[in-house]
Amino acid sequence: MSLSRKVRISKLASGTLIGCIAVSAFGADLQECVGIALRQNPDIIVSQSQLDQAESALIQAKGQYFPKLSAGVTATRTNDPLNVFGLKLAQHNATFNDFGLGQYTGVGSVAPSALNYPNPVNNYDTSLELQIPIYNGGMISGYVDQAHAYVKAAQEGDQEARQQVIFHVIQAYQGAHTAHAYVTVAQQALAASEAYVKTTQNLLQQGLVVRSDLLFAQVNLENVKVNLEEARRGEAAAIDQLHLLLGMSLDEKLDIGSDYIPTALTDSVAKLQEEAVASNPGLLAMHHQLDAAIAGVQVASADYYPHFNAMLRQDWNSPTFQQVAPSYTIAGVLSWRIFDMGVTRGAVGRAEASRAELQAKLKQAEDGVRFQVADAWRGSVEAESRVNARAAAVTQSEEAQRLVAKRYENGVTTMVEVLSAQAQLDKARAEEVAAHYQLTLQRAALRLAVGKLNSDQL
């Protein structure tokens, strides 16, 4: 066995996974990618719009506490006897002749034509009206409480949407790194396969190996080339997915920075579950939705109580458009719905049923979050163990490949066994890459369930 053959194969056996996961320093790191997504992702735009709607609804509800001033102009032309007489009174233009005084002969049964068949009258009623809410059975305060609760729910919903987007960015970002690492593994396998072919060709010319060794090496080289193309296609698809998630055009250049693995949460499962129930934004949003439902019961129950409101009105009536003949009206309106065929009772029952439904859903969601925390915690522990195991497997596979290569150099094995050892090494390297990716996802999922996946914590 020649010395050149021994050195060549030994070098091929000495590669490590460090080359698989090292990525050149790209332009946009995870923090920048998250910032882009939080500005452009459609889910964030939707959650912001929902928050704006809730805040506007709160302004609308608070406005019900205050008086409302309205102005209006009503133009009228009529020959209806009752309206004509009323409009003349409003204009301060009524005279005794409007009663048919000129036709009065002392006989009471004579019908005055001026009163019964008046000429048409034009009237312009210019008005200012102030409506003052005083007591409405708690309806207005219920609407305000409900709107406050919806604002808080929308705020927590926005936080939940942001954390979901951050999780998906981490998933896509690390997916791109993982795909790049697979390309690196395939490139290492290609370099080794090309070296095996070249070395075997030289040995075949020297008569040191049989032709079948060269054929096995050539077939392996073609398979490795196919694997490399698949890895490159996967890398391109991963980058495209990150483009889409960030709201960027697919043809826009995007270079990503160093890889990211979240730090582990060291608290016990029970403590993390308690923290998740207390701070998970999705659960907090449901709590506020429940508060809104409770306020909805108060709104529906308002019709059981009397309502009292006041009204101040100033009118100007004139046959032409001008402010003359002023008059005012002051009114207080007390209304109390005594019987409504079960309408109010039905509305209250529906509101209470909605509250009970939300309570049940909240309990179910809390149990679900507790499960998610426990499952993600177990997954994180398992993934960490898998990373350690895969790292050990790479070391062992490298040593096994080195030993097989040495046996091949000594003529006690075949190229088939060499290629099998190399394939096992490639597989171990790929599995270590996958283990790192799973560790990232499991830790990120645990932070998401607990409610600690914020951009300032990356």
Per-residue pLDDT tens over the stretch 419-431? 888 888 988 999 9
Q: What is the pLDDT of residues 312-340, one digit of tens each?
A: 999 999 999 888 899 999 999 999 999 99
Rg (C-alpha) for the chain, rounded Å, is: 41
Report the pLDDT averaged over residues 374-378: 96
Assign 458 a pLDDT band (cuts: 50, 70, 90).
low
Assign 287 a pLDDT band (cuts: 50, 70, 90).
very high
Helix, strand and coil in the chain, % to nearest 5: 70, 10, 20
Helix (H, G, I), strand (E, B) or coil at 268: coil
212 or 275: which leads in pLDDT = 275
The CA distances from residue 226 to 21, 189, 423, in Å, are: 21, 11, 14
**Is 289:153 a contact under the CB 8 Å cutoff?**
yes
pLDDT of residue 16 exceeding 50, the answer is no
Of 35-44, 68-77, 107-116, the range with the lowest mean pLDDT is: 107-116
pLDDT of residue 19 exceeding 50, the answer is no
The pLDDT mean for the chain works out to 88
pLDDT score at 401? 87
Of 18-32, 220-234, 284-298, 373-387, the range with the lowest mean pLDDT is: 18-32
DSSP for residue 280: -
Does an H or E element contain 132, and which? strand 121-135
The rounded distance, in Å, linking the Cα atoms of 357 and 359 is 5
Report the pLDDT averaged over residues 264-292: 95
pLDDT score at 245? 85
Helix (H, G, I), strand (E, B) or coil at 307: strand
pLDDT of residue 136 exceeding 70, the answer is yes
What's the full length of the chain, in residues? 458
The rounded distance, in Å, linking the Cα atoms of 407 and 417 is 10
Q: What is the pLDDT of residues 391-420, one digit of tens each?
A: 999 999 999 988 988 887 776 777 888 888
pLDDT score at 22? 35
Longest dimension (CA), the chain: 151
Helix (H, G, I), strand (E, B) or coil at 314: strand
Does an H or E element contain 330, and which? strand 326-335
* CATH topology assigned to domain 3-66+138-305+342-457: Outer membrane efflux proteins (OEP) (1.20.1600)
Helix (H, G, I), strand (E, B) or coil at 403: helix
Residue 41 Cα to chain centre, angstroms: 9
End-to-end CA distance of the chain: 54
Both tokens of 286, joined, read 């449901």
